[in-house]
């Protein structure tokens, strides 16, 4: 509702230049029955949509809004005591210390001053180098600190007063205080007629269609099961017994996690006042005082007293109590969880040895004749003959069945290695001696193949090598019997040579030495050449002339090597009492690492027909193991220790030096440092 107030109906004193707030207050007092709400439009705020226009005298400036700070007009003094709801609104005068006007203060951010005062002097910026201590002292000493507001427009703290509240409020609205007179229509007075006698609407007497629709939706949701009735709450008693559900025999959680401190060890005989003589320290043992306290066997000095009454006070009592207290609250405690495991479950499920027969179990024959330790031996392809080499400078040929020495061939120096040609059509033996010659026995084939007495066997025929001044340590044959390899003791130079017997020529397969070579082997099936260095085994392809694989033995020093007849498995013995089984199709790391021997391993060997392999050690024993290799590549090899063969006597810290299996029977030959060759069947 908009009301038009005629100018002649207003009081005469309203025509004076009043502030519009006072005018609005007096209009509400003069016209209490004036309809509400109403609005006023003054000429300085007039707009085309205004309903009325009150003409005030021209001495009231029209260009300056009444609520501006620059307005020079004030309230008339005769109306200062007029009661009005706006009489509490205070409009303090403007702070005219800085006369720059309403301009952005960012213009002064690069200058040392912030404006000018009334006299035209610069107003310098206040110092802002106050730290926390200065702010604290100002807070404690300045009683008006709480009422000061840091003024950003003038960079000065402005003290707070009552008029500042009005200024801050006028900055948000139109400057009209919010306290308006309210008419109390409903009073405490009891009246006959109601304040409002308006009749009720028709919709108050008919059902609501909106509520009907809501109820229909709720009923449908209940029928469909979308709304479930609330479950009744269980009536929990307010007061209950704390210990009603507690079992007196149960262990609380805090008691369960408690780790008791270890008890002090009980005193022994050494702490007695009259200990036995063996517990008293001798003058030599009294040097324990020079040791570190942590290295002493006892932390006290045993003493003897004639009686219990003569025992003085213990001088270290307080010190030991203090150390005990330190251990109780400084040393962490840990509960070690012990797993109850059946020892039988830790033992691998292996077949019984009696189910894996045949394998050598008993010493059958002893071949005696060498005067020094027997370093090497080899069996003929037919299994009828045996050759052995010793440090006494001789080669001896034995008949396996009778243990009879058929022939003794002197070679002049210690025999390091001997190998019988694997070709059954060629009866040829290669031996490596300490002198720089490699001697194959040439004219032996016709005599031994005819089965006559070996009395007519001539002396060995020397085979020249390209490096006559390097000692040979090992010889080995290729499976076909034409090629054979030798290992020279030449660190840093050429160490491996491959020879061909039919053409009588030699070649060096390596341009650079792969390390300190211990032994070499030919692959039984593929054109591979295996070279064992000190810690690894390298496999070379002779056709492609490249390195195929490198096996890491996890041993300190490899001593011997053997290749399975199938060609997919290799075993290596080492001087640190380890036997490593490699599966070439599985990994370059050992499949199994066996530690059966107590001392260094000297030789290892595979059987050609049976799943057996053996290892010889300096502890004087030979261990025979079952090594089954399956055709299924998804199944790993089965390794089972079978028998420990004893018989050789360790001599000069050396035990069994070489082993070899019989090519046809499950028999085993071994040579030892005691100068004998033994047969186990």
- Answer yes or no: is pLDDT of 292 > 50: yes
- Answer yes or no: is pLDDT of 593 > 50: yes
Residues 55 and 137 in one domain: no
Q: How confident is the model at residue 179 (pLDDT cuts 50, 70, 90)?
A: low
How confident is the model over 409-445, as pLDDT tens digits?
998 889 999 999 999 988 889 998 876 444 444 433 3
The domain boundary residue, chosen from 602, 637, 663: 602
Residues 402 and 428 in one domain: yes
- Answer yes or no: is pLDDT of 17 > 50: no
Q: E strand or H helix at 680, and its extent?
A: strand 676-680
> In this predicted structure, which of 10-19, 493-502, 655-664 has the lowest mean pLDDT?
10-19
Which residue from 418, 441, 405, 462 is spatially nearest to 660, judged by alpha carbons? Answer: 418
- Answer yes or no: is pLDDT of 452 > 50: no
At residue 195, the pLDDT reads 74
How confident is the model over 96-144, as pLDDT tens digits?
577 887 888 888 888 888 888 888 888 888 766 678 888 888 888 888 8
- Answer yes or no: is pLDDT of 266 > 80: yes
386 and 367 Cβ atoms separated by less than 8 Å: yes
At residue 158, the pLDDT reads 54
> In this structure, is residue 208 part of a structural domain?
no
> In this structure, is residue 356 part of a structural domain?
no
Mean pLDDT of 601-628: 94
At residue 83, the pLDDT reads 42
Residues 570 and 439 in one domain: yes
At residue 531, the pLDDT reads 94
> In this predicted structure, which of 85-89, 194-198, 292-296, 382-386 has the lowest mean pLDDT?
85-89
pTM: 0.51
At residue 163, the pLDDT reads 52
> In this structure, is residue 182 part of a structural domain?
no
> In this structure, is residue 119 part of a structural domain?
yes
> In this predicted structure, which of 93-97, 361-365, 466-470, 576-580 has the lowest mean pLDDT?
93-97
Higher pLDDT, 39 or 546: 546
Which residue from 556, 506, 561 is spatially nearest to 528, judged by alpha carbons? Answer: 561
**Residue 508, domain extent:** 372-602
Dihedral, CA of residue 185, residue 187, residue 193 and residue 195, to nearest 10: 20
> In this predicted structure, which of 255-264, 401-410, 425-434 has the lowest mean pLDDT?
255-264
What proportion of the chain, given as a percentage, has pLDDT over 90? Answer: 38
Residues 8 and 149 in one domain: no
598 and 607 Cβ atoms separated by less than 8 Å: no
Mean pLDDT of 659-666: 94
CA distance 67 to 80: 18
Cis peptide before 648 (omega within 30 of 0): no
The residue ranges of DSSP E strands in 607-674, in sequence order, are 612-617, 621-628, 638-646, 656-661, 668-672
At residue 460, the pLDDT reads 54
Helices and strands, number each (H, E), in the chain:
8, 31
The domain boundary residue, chosen from 575, 602, 629: 602
Residues 58 and 132 in one domain: no
With vertex at residue 32, the alpha carbon angle to CA 198 and CA 9, rounded to the nearest 5 degrees, is: 125
- Average pLDDT of every residue of the chain: 77
> In this structure, is residue 576 part of a structural domain?
yes
Instruction: List Cα–Cα distances, 100 to 107, 122, 205, in angstroms.
Output: 11, 11, 70
> In this structure, is residue 499 part of a structural domain?
yes
| Most confidently predicted of 18-27, 390-399, 486-495 | 390-399
Phi/psi of residue 295, each to 5°?
-95, -5
Higher pLDDT, 252 or 361: 361
Q: Enumerate residues 6+ apart whose C-beta is below 8 A from 585.
A: 568, 633
Residues 575 and 538 in one domain: yes
At residue 180, the pLDDT reads 65
At residue 59, the pLDDT reads 39
> In this structure, is residue 557 part of a structural domain?
yes
Q: How confident is the model at residue 284 (pLDDT cuts 50, 70, 90)?
A: confident
Mean pLDDT of 646-662: 92
Mean pLDDT of 656-672: 94
The domain boundary residue, chosen from 35, 58, 92: 92
Residues 454 and 571 in one domain: yes
Residues 78 and 122 in one domain: no
Mean pLDDT of 175-200: 70
At residue 248, the pLDDT reads 65
From the number of C-beta atoms within 10 Å of its C-beta (0-12, 13-18, 19+), residue 519 rates as buried
CA distance 242 to 224: 44
What total number of domains does the chain contain?
Answer: 3
Mean pLDDT of 238-265: 75
What proportion of the chain, given as a percentage, has pLDDT over 70? Answer: 73
- Answer yes or no: is pLDDT of 613 > 60: yes
Residues 466 and 539 in one domain: yes
At residue 160, the pLDDT reads 54
Residues 532 and 390 in one domain: yes
> In this structure, is residue 149 part of a structural domain?
yes
Residues 532 and 392 in one domain: yes
How confident is the model over 311-356, as pLDDT tens digits?
999 888 999 999 999 999 888 888 778 788 888 888 878 888 899 9
Residues 153 and 34 in one domain: no
How confident is the model over 47-67, as pLDDT tens digits?
444 334 344 344 334 444 444
Which residue from 519, 610, 496, 618 is spatially nearest to 571, judged by alpha carbons? Answer: 519
**Which CATH number do you get for residue 563?**
2.130.10.10
């Amino acid at each position: 509702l908009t009301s038009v107030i005629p100018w002649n109906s207003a009081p005469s004193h309203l025509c004076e230049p009043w502030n519009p707030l006072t005018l609005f207050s007096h209009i509400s007092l003069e016209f209490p029955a004036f309809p509400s709400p109403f609005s006023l439009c003054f000429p300085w705020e007039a707009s085309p949509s205004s309903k009325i226009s009150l003409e005030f005298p021209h001495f009231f400036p029209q260009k300056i809004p009444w609520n501006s700070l620059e307005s020079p007009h004030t309230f008339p003094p005769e109306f200062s005591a007029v009661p009005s709801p706006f009489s509490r609104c205070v409009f303090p005068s403007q702070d005219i210390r800085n006369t720059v006007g309403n301009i952005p203060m960012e213009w002064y951010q690069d200058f040392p001053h912030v404006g000018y005062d009334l006299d035209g002097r610069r107003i310098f910026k206040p110092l802002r180098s106050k730290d926390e201590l200065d702010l604290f002292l100002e807070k404690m000493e300045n009683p008006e600190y709480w009422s000061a507001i840091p003024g950003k427009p003038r960079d000065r703290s402005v003290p707070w007063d009552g008029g500042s509240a009005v200024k801050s409020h006028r900055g948000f609205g139109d400057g009209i205080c919010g306290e308006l007179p309210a008419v109390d229509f409903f009073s405490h007075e009891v009246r006959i007629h109601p304040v409002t006698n308006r009749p009720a609407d028709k919709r108050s007497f008919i059902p609501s269609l909106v509520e009907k629709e809501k109820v229909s939706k709720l009923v449908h949701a209940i029928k469909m099961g979308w709304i479930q009735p609330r479950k009744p709450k269980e009536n929990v008693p307010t007061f209950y017994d704390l210990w009603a559900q507690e079992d007196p025999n149960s262990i609380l959680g805090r008691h369960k996690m408690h780790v008791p401190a270890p008890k002090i060890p009980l005193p022994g005989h050494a702490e007695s006042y009259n200990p036995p003589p063996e517990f008293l320290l001798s003058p030599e043992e009294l040097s324990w005082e020079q040791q570190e306290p942590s290295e002493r066997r006892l932390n006290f000095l045993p003493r003897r007293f004639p009686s219990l009454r003569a025992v003085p006070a213990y001088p270290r009592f307080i010190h030991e109590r203090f150390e005990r207290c330190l251990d109780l609250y400084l040393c962490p405690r840990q509960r070690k969880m012990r797993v109850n495991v059946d020892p039988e479950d830790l033992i691998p499920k292996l077949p019984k040895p009696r189910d894996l027969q045949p394998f050598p179990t008993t010493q059958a024959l002893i071949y005696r004749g060498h005067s020094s330790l027997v370093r090497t031996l080899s069996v003929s392809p037919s299994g009828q003959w045996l050759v052995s080499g010793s440090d006494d400078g001789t080669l001896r040929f034995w008949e396996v069945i009778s243990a009879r020495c058929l022939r003794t061939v002197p070679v002049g120096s210690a025999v390091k290695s001997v190998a019988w040609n694997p070709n059954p059509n060629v009866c040829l033996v290669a031996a490596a001696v300490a002198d720089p010659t490699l001697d194959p026995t040439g004219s032996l084939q016709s005599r031994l193949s005819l089965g006559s007495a070996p009395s007519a066997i001539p002396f060995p025929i020397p085979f020249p090598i390209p490096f006559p001044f390097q000692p040979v340590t090992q010889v080995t044959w290729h499976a076909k019997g034409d090629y054979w390899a030798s290992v020279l003791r030449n660190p840093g130079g050429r160490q491996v040579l491959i020879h061909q017997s039919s053409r009588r020529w030699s070649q060096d397969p390596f341009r650079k030495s792969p390390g300190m070579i211990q032994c070499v082997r030919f692959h039984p099936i593929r054109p591979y050449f295996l070279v064992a260095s000190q810690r690894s085994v390298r496999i070379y392809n002779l056709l492609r002339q490249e390195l195929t694989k490198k096996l890491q033995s996890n041993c300190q020093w490899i001593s011997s090597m053997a290749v399975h007849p199938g060609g997919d498995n290799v075993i290596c013995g080492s001087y640190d009492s380890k036997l490593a089984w490699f599966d070439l199709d599985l990994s370059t790391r050992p499949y199994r690492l066996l530690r059966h021997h107590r001392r260094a391993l000297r030789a290892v060997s595979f059987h050609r027909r049976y799943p057996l392999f053996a290892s010889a050690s300096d502890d004087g024993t030979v261990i025979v193991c079952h090594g089954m290799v399956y055709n299924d590549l998804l199944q790993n090899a089965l390794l089972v220790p079978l028998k420990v063969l004893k018989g050789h006597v360790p001599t000069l810290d050396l035990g069994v030096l070489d082993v070899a299996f019989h090519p046809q029977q499950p028999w085993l030959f071994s040579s030892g440092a005691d100068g004998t060759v033994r047969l186990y069947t």
